[in-house]
């Protein structure tokens, strides 16, 4: 097994891994949403891969069997992110047959090393119950804050 950064020639497989993750995470994926994602996501990867989006993968022969994404975001500086450079981890996914073999932990470790190389002040993520112990074991801590996590959703899309 090889752990490495994804490259442009991996984009089709990254799209497949993202779709598999979304299907599993959501319990299903609406057919029209899936079509829209599959149409737009390759261009997103072409623009962002290894610029502000770093995708680490585990490769077995010619197949990607696990992946984890790190999105770098540069914000106005504050004491919470002193240089303004932050990261968000998402789409940590291993194909079912290959689970519980340590690939997720290896990938998260690579993301943390990349965050150090990029001098990110903080890296955050949202964890499912299933992934919680993995993230704790790699140094992530619960974020207890006076702030509430909220979001706005554009209902016209």
Tell me the percentage of the chain whose pLDDT exceeds 70.
100
Give me the domain span that covers residue 52.
Answer: 2-137
Residue whose C-alpha is closest to residue 92's, from 45, 127, 118, 119: 127
Q: Which residue has the higher pLDDT, 86 or 148?
A: 86
- Please indicate, yes or no, if residue 144 is contained in any of the structural domains: no
Tell me the percentage of the chain whose pLDDT exceeds 90.
85
- Please indicate, yes or no, if residue 156 is contained in any of the structural domains: no
- Please indicate, yes or no, if residue 104 is contained in any of the structural domains: yes
- Please indicate, yes or no, if residue 153 is contained in any of the structural domains: no
- Please indicate, yes or no, if residue 95 is contained in any of the structural domains: yes
What value does the mean pLDDT of the chain take?
95
Confirm if 69 and 5 have CB atoms less than 8 A apart: no
**How far apart, in whole angstroms, are the C-alpha atoms of residue 83 and residue 115?**
13
Q: How distant is the alpha carbon of residue 135 from its chain centre?
A: 13
**How far apart, in whole angstroms, are the C-alpha atoms of residue 52 and residue 60?**
26
Total of domains in the chain: 1
**How far apart, in whole angstroms, are the C-alpha atoms of residue 95 and residue 99?**
7
Confirm if 84 and 71 have CB atoms less than 8 A apart: no
- Please indicate, yes or no, if residue 9 is contained in any of the structural domains: yes
pLDDT confidence of residue 111: 97
Q: What is the pLDDT of residues 14-64, one digit of tens each?
A: 999 999 999 999 988 899 999 999 999 999 999 999 999 999 999 999 899
CATH of the domain at 98: 3.40.630.30
- Please indicate, yes or no, if residue 154 is contained in any of the structural domains: no
Residue for token pair 């949202």: 126
- Please indicate, yes or no, if residue 36 is contained in any of the structural domains: yes
pLDDT interval class at 119 (50, 70, 90): very high
Q: Which residue has the higher pLDDT, 60 or 149?
A: 60
Q: What is the pLDDT of residues 74-95, one digit of tens each?
A: 999 999 899 999 999 999 999 9
pLDDT confidence of residue 50: 97
Residue for token pair 């964890």: 127
């Amino acid at each position: 097994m090889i752990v490495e950064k994804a490259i442009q020639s991996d984009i089709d497989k990254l799209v497949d891994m993202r779709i598999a993750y979304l299907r599993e995470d959501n319990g299903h994926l609406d057919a029209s949403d899936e079509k829209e994602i599959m149409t737009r996501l390759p261009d997103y990867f072409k623009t962002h891969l290894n610029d502000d989006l770093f995708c680490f993968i585990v490769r077995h022969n010619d197949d990607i069997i696990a992946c984890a994404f790190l999105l770098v975001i540069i914000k106005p500086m504050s004491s919470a992110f002193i240089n303004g450079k932050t990261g968000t981890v998402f789409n940590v996914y291993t194909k079912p047959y290959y689970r519980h073999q340590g690939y997720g932990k290896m990938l998260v470790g690579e993301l943390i090393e990349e965050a150090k190389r990029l001098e990110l002040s903080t890296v955050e993520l949202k964890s499912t119950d299933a992934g919680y112990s993995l993230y704790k074991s790699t140094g992530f801590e619960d974020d207890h804050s006076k702030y509430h996590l909220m979001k706005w959703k554009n209902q016209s899309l």
